[in-house]
Structure 1
Amino acid sequence: MLQERENTLKYMIEAEWPGQIGICEPRRVAAISLANRVADETGTLVQGDMVGYAVRFDACKNKPKIKYMTEGILLRELMSDPLLKSYSAIMLDEVHERTVYTDILMGLVKKILKKRSDLRLIVASATLDAEMLQKFFNNNSTGDRKKDTAIIMSVEGRQYPVDVYYVAEPVPCYVQASVETVLKINSSKDSGDILVFLTGQEEVDRAVRLLNEHASLIEESKKKEKMCVLPMYGALPYHEQLKVFKSAPSGHRKVVVATNIAETSVTIPGIVHVVDCGFVKLKWFNDDTHTNSLIVVPISKSSADQRAGRAGRERPGKVYRLYTEEDASKLPDETPPEIVRSDLTYPILQIKAFGIANILKFDFPSPPPMKNLKSALEILYALECIDIQGELTKPLGFNMAEFAMNPLYTKVLLSSGNFGCSEEILTIISMLQVETIFAKPSSGSNSIKARIQKRLFEVEEGDLITYLNIFNGFVQSETSQGFCQKNFLNYKSLQRVVQIREGLKRMLQNYDVPIASCLRSTEPILKCLVKGLFPNAAYLHHSGVYKTIRGDIELFVHPDSILYTIPQPQWVIFCEVVHTSKLYMKDITVINSEWLTELAPHFYHRTTHYD
């Protein structure tokens, strides 16, 4: 598909359209890596006049002819340029991933095309139902195919044959099975690099750690089967992500352990063997708790095909599926679009910012459930982003729409100046943007040491203040990698936190939020957190479990929380819910119940109940 994209771009450039050519990618790593690739192909410098990119906190200053960007960037550009007048062509790439932003962009661009007949839209997808998309974009009401405004163009990709292998019996732990499969491939005579698919950063880091231990043993024994093991996930700093595109050192085999970011968004050269765990981590919205739950679910057949296709890019390859052939036949055909299974609070906030008053009449390619829309509008009203008529409030609603993050976090950030704790809140919100900051050792003795080191930072106020202590220690060590090794922390994640924090600080300064510190006082920080996270409040029921105040949903403290092993407080707020055997709260903070009625009187009020 990469060569086909490049050919498409050449045709678009040769057409000499007057404006920019915008290419949207679902992920920042794809936008940056493809911009670099096309710059090399055109013999120009990336971020020059020909090719550039724009991702969150990193954008080109000029107006290149070809501009790669994430979907969120184009959405924000729509706020200032509703008809995209600076563009003559837009390409929406990897549409089969069906992110929330993909669906919103398709709905918005469809409206723009009715106003701008000169704008060209190219929707690129490897597996999506093309006829469904053609029907969605086709404005021809006569039925005459000659008057179709949308057509299907199929380009046959180059694919070498791929042999598929299944396990005879289900594996008890797919992370361990992935490691064992890599070692078997590496000890065989089959050449070529290996790509392993796992579900999240924590699993990737665990597998990389185990494989690196084996790689060290191989180096010491001076065997020939040497490995260069690399992680690949969205939260990884970009300079670390770039390593997977480079060739392994001489005499080594490259092993890339990745999330589904490597499924379609990036093409890693040299891959011949693919190890597919058969699972993916998806967000799933719970309208009872008003939160997204992270759920590990089986992949779809189309995702399985995409993963297998990674092995046949450069020569015949092999894919090792860690599930049975019978289970493979039971997989769903497609992964449900994100917009039908996600929290719509931020997407609706952005749609409102585009001046679309009636959300119910917005043309979504896959209409989301009505209960999800209702829940999102309720939360936005409670956050004071919209008024009772559903219009954006000024300036708060418009300001919040500019931030590409959960509106609950944005409300906390924009309120931090009033509480005099913006320095601390910047750190906490930035820490919440990465999946984990903790390195989890595989050996039992190191696990105990990691737990002891974590206790040095823990405080009774909960996880978020603990994160603040950890980051402050990291900064005081001058962002030392040795500090992270000593305290069993993820150095790459903390580097990413530093980058995110710098970007958010600039945004706060743009909105004239005073940057101040409350020094060692925690109450202003806790109150500020309640100001935005008040919908995520729970109390300890007399039965011994936590329950949400609204909805009466049973919740449990996640084992990773510092509150798991201490006497549990009466009132807490949480950032997310993880759904495994139970609904577990993560990133928990202890609060005073009176703050809920003080800081969110429009959402909570106190009553007396008599049995």
Structure 2
Amino acid sequence: MSEFKPKFVKPSDTSSYLDKNEAVGLETTSFIYNRYISQSVQTQRQRLPIFNSRNHILYALEKYQTLVLVGETGCGKSTQIPQYMIEAEWPGQIGICEPRRVAAISLANRVADETGTLVQGDMVGYAVRFDACTNKPKIKFMTEGILLREVMSDPLLKSYSAIMLDEVHERTVYTDLLMGLMKRILKKRSELRLIVASATLDAEMLHKFFNSNPTGDKKKDTAVIMSVEGRQYPVDIHYVAEPIPCYIQASVDTVLNINSSKEPGDILVFLTGQEEVDKAVRLLNEHAILIEESRKKEKLHVLPMYGALPYHEQLKVFRPAPLGHRKVVVATNIAETSVTIPGIVHVIDCGFVKLKWFNNDTHTDSLIVVPVSKSSADQRAGRAGREKPGKVYRLYTEEDASKLADETPPEMVRSDLTYPILQLKAFGISNILKFDFPSPPPLKNLKSALEILYALDCIDIQGELTKPLGFNMAEFALNPLYTKVLLSAGEFNCSEEILTIISMLQVETVFAKPSTGSNSIKARIQKRLFEVEEGDLITYLNIYNGFVQSEMSQGFCQKNFLNYKSLQRVVQIREGLKRMLQNYDVPIVSCLRYTEPILKCLVKGLFPNAAYLHHSGVYKTVRGDVELFVHPDSVLYTIQQPQWVIFCEVVHTTKLYMKDITVIKSEWLVELAPHFYHSTTHYD
């Protein structure tokens, strides 16, 4: 790699947007400290960059309804602000909303440690999907989906006195939904306070969005911007001299080069998805074995990190490496902003990210690997400067870096909107076009979502939620197509099997892909033991059943080249979904190895994703006539192509590939979705 002149990440602006005259009287603000906080913990908290802004933050929350807070990840905003409010005897419950479950749980544990209390007690708790506190703690960390469901049951969030939306710059669909809903709630509840916090965001845009002052008089503003200095050490940026052919192999090589140089510090590698992470971890572990045998270099302690990992596996990245080892964390963009991993000094940035992009022609989200934006690249670089000066190795040229987009497009403008629209309908918002989105989505995406929801019987011809199906579906934090399949399972007497299939679809992959040629052949042979002519989804069912019959043993996974951690996560998800189905009185029954009821149940919800084999030899969607191809990983790739299929996902690389495919009969589409399909005869 060629070293260019080091670039330093500057600390965020220390200036506050608060008027200087408003600072009068801040020194007289009193704080009540709880006696159980130890002196050592207080000292640690006082060292955080946000400590110097504590008085200003509390004053701003007293004077303004919305505080737009810009502060680097690690400055202490997520853990300290709710504690400052409790110490100042802020009334009511304080909710902190995080985009990822690992952030919500880890932050809750951190605050519980700092306050000397137990997590899920009366002081601090968390709520994530399938794991929520039953009491009402004063400080409650939660995911965005949980807060949305709380808004559904309590439209004005009367139990909360303050809500903090953290990591807003990620601009997920849920983030934009919550910002639009919070704007409406703030108009109804003048005493409610909102904190919109982020490491890098367009603060002026958000200030304008939440400021309900129509007069232009700054004295009547309801929102204010404040920036907090982040404790950011200088970071040297290195680029490659020439474009690289494979960023996964280049990432592995760079890790080994850093380890050979004996420069101290742990390493964080950014890749795009679970498959890439697992492949890199496998390669690094092979090298780690050789390093241990040679005893010449520092040993490697390699850990993966991605959303589908069970939580106890994700927690491992926060622990120090064993004595004499260097920790190497290989992660997706989950490690970009939501969490701070201690000990990281070196960051390797592959330069790409996997994004969902909605395809109106196929009515599906396509997963596309695209270059990162400049803001994301800066966020990744910032991971190296948290505790000491660091280094970032970007696996792309400096010229390519200058051509990157400034920001990643918000998920709202590039995603399938069926679930967000379903949620808004559940909140009683009849006219979606009048809803105030921070970034309005394309009209064609809205139209497509409404068409699909009507076809699923979620909404009626007037656009209102149907009872009980529409309201029940809005309770599930799933793609509405999957929810329709789940709620229809009792009708087909196959809910046990459908629970398994839908749960398997919630993880990126359950297959471990060996790096060596001989093991790749063995993995393919073992996979064939589970494959069936009905397609991928019934194959998933066989894999899960085999895993359960083996008493969920790790040896079973090793023998069959399956991802043990992913299957553990599937078990957790399945238990949660099963409890939800029982709440809606869906009978938990099995069809006892008969596949036709399962296939029909899948068609009941996935009918928009139907394709037929055209006489030209390619598949085409029934609606839109878009050419699709069977993904090479599908069990149908090497056999005679069936005439009709449904698919769950489209991946866009050189072509549009269907993934998670199931063989169906054409007459089922007309039988189970007559409002969407009808049979006709064409004469040439």
TM range, smaller chain: over 0.9
Select the residue among 587, 599, 602 that pairs with 2:660.
587
**Does the alignment pair 1:395 with 2:468?**
yes
- How far residue 209 of structure 1 moved from its aligned partner, in angstroms, is 0.2
Alignment of 1:329-340 (within 5 A): 329-340=402-413
Q: Identify if the C-alpha distance between structure 1 residues 2 and 74 changes in structure 2 by more than 3 Å, giving closer, same or farther.
A: same
Q: Name which of 317, 326, 331 aligns with 1:244.
A: 317
Are positions 1:142 and 2:215 aligned together? yes
Report the equivalent of 2:489: 416
> Paired residue for 1:499?
572
**1:53 maps to what in 2?**
126
Partner in structure 1 of residue 304 of structure 2: 231
What is the alpha-carbon distance in structure 2 between the residues aligned to residue 357 and residue 14 of structure 1?
A: 41
| TM-score, normalised with respect to structure 1 | 1.00
Deviation of 1:120 after TM superposition, in Å, equals: 0.4
In 2: Cα distance, 1:211 partner to 1:157 partner: 33
| Kept in 2: contact 1:139–1:149 (CA 8 A) | yes
Residues 184-212 of structure 1: per-residue CA shift (max 9 Å, x gap) = 00111210000000000000000000000
Deviation at 1:133, TM superposition (A): 0.1
Give the structure 2 partner of residue 152 of structure 1. Answer: 225
Distance of 2:224 and 2:76 partners within structure 1: 17
* Alpha-carbon separation, structure 2, partners of 1:78 and 1:550: 36
Shift of 1:78: 0.6
Equivalent residues in 2 for 1:367-378 (5 A)? 367-378=440-451
Q: Does 1:162 find its partner at 2:235?
A: yes
What does 1:267-416 align with in structure 2 at a 5 Å threshold?
267-416=340-489
Partner of 1:263: 336
Aligned equivalent of 2:640: 567
2:74–2:386 CA contact under 8 A, matched in 1: no
- In 2, the alpha carbon distance for the partners of 1:327 and 1:37 equals 39
Partner of 1:488: 561
Cα distance in 2 for partners of 1:491, 1:242 equals 17
Q: Counterpart of 1:180?
A: 253
Which residue identity does 1:552 align to in structure 2?
D
Amino acid at match of 1:389: Q
What's the secondary structure of 1:386's corresponding residue? coil
Cα deviations across residues 373-402 of structure 1 (Å, max 9, x unaligned)?
000000000000000000000000000000
Equivalent position of 2:74 in the other structure: 2
Aligned with 2:198: secondary structure?
coil
Q: Number of matched residues?
A: 611
- Summarize deviations over 1:200-249 as a string: whole Å, max 9, x none: 00000000000000001111222232000000000000000000000000
Matched, 1:222 2:295: yes
Q: CA deviation at 1:3?
A: 3.8
Letter matched to residue 548 of structure 1: T
Preserved CA contact (<8 Å) 1:228 1:248: yes
Q: Name 2:65's counterpart in structure 1.
A: none
Q: Indicate the residue corresponding to 2:48 in structure 1.
A: none
Q: Please give the secondary structure, in 2, of the residue aligned with 1:216.
A: helix
Distance 2:86 2:270 in 1: 36
For structure 2, the 5+ residue unaligned runs are 1-72
Three-state SS of the structure 2 residue aligned to 1:539 is: strand
CA RMSD of aligned residues (A): 0.6
Partner SS for 2:126 = strand
Give the AA of the match of 1:413: L
Q: Which has the larger radius of gyration?
A: 2
Query: Are 1:540 and 1:571, in contact at CA under 8 Å, matched by a contact in 2?
Result: yes
Q: Displacement of 1:138 after TM fit?
A: 0.4
1:43 matched residue in structure 2 = 116
Distance 1:467 1:8 in 2: 45
- Show the counterpart of 1:124: 197
> Which letter maps to 1:453?
Q
Distance (whole Å) between structure 2 residues aligned to residue 127 and residue 175 of structure 1: 28
Equivalent pair of 1:224/1:251 in contact (CA under 8 Å): no
Asked if the contact 1:422/1:516 (under 8 Å) is kept, the reply is: yes
Partners in 2 of 1:461 and 1:185 — Cα distance? 48
Conservation of the 8 A alpha-carbon contact between 2:104 and 2:126: yes
Q: Per-residue deviation at 1:9?
A: 2.2
User: Structure 2 CA distance, aligned partners of 1:16 and 1:385?
Assistant: 44
C-alpha distance in 1 between matches for 2:307 and 2:123: 27
- Pairing of 1:7-22 with structure 2 (within 5 A): 7-22=80-95
Could you tell me which amino acid in structure 1 is paired with residue 544 of structure 2?
F
Q: Distance in 2 between matches of 1:100 and 1:335?
A: 13
Which amino acid counterpart does residue 76 of structure 2 have in structure 1?
E
1:88 shift after superposition: 0.3
Alpha-carbon distance between aligned partners in 2 of 1:175 and 1:434, rounded to the nearest angstrom: 21
Distance, in Å, in 1 between the alignment partners of 2:613 and 2:323 is 58
- C-alpha distance in 1 between matches for 2:631 and 2:231: 46
In structure 1, what is the equivalent of residue 102 of structure 2?
A: 29
State the partner residue of 2:583.
510
Alignment of 1:459-538 (within 5 A): 459-538=532-611
CA distance in 2, matches of 1:162, 1:80: 46
* Aligned amino acid, residue 2 of structure 1: G
Equivalent position of 1:202 in the other structure? 275
Aligned mates of 1:440, 1:508 — CA distance in 2 = 34
> Which stretches of structure 1, 4 residues or more, deviate above 2 A after TM superposition?
1-4
Residue deviations 1:276-325, cap 9 Å, x none? 00000000000110000000000000000000000000000000000000
- State the percentage of identical aligned residues: 89
SS at match of 1:419: coil
Q: Which amino acid aligns with 2:172?
A: T
In the aligned structure 2, how far is the partner of 1:300 from the partner of 1:515? 46
Tell me, what secondary structure is at the counterpart of 1:563? coil
TM-superposed CA distance for 1:61, in Å, is 1.1
Question: Alpha-carbon deviation of 1:4?
Answer: 2.9
Unaligned segments of structure 1, at least 5 residues:
none
- Counterpart-to-counterpart distance in 1, 2:399 and 2:275: 29
Q: Residue 430 of structure 1 corresponds to which residue in structure 2?
A: 503
Paired with 1:129 and 1:549, the residues of 2 have a C-alpha distance of 42
**Normalising to structure 2: TM-score of the pair?**
0.89
Write the letter of the residue equivalent to 1:159. Q
Contact 2:262-2:297 within 8 A present in 1 as well: no
Could you list the per-position Cα deviations for residues 564-608 of structure 1 after superposition, in whole angstroms to 9, with x for gaps in the alignment? 000000000000000000000000000000000000000000000
Q: Is residue 4–residue 155 contact of structure 1 (8 Å, CA) maintained in 2?
A: no
Counterpart CA distance in 1 for 2:431 and 2:89 is 38
Contact 2:151-2:157 at 8 Å conserved across structures? yes
3-state DSSP of counterpart to 1:295: strand
Secondary structure of the residue that 2:212 maps to in structure 1?
coil
1:543-554 alignment, distance < 5 Å: 543-554=616-627
One-letter identity of the residue aligned with 1:250:
L
Say which SS state the counterpart of residue 302 (structure 2) adopts.
strand
The structure 2 residue matched to 1:71, chosen from 144, 148, 172, is 144
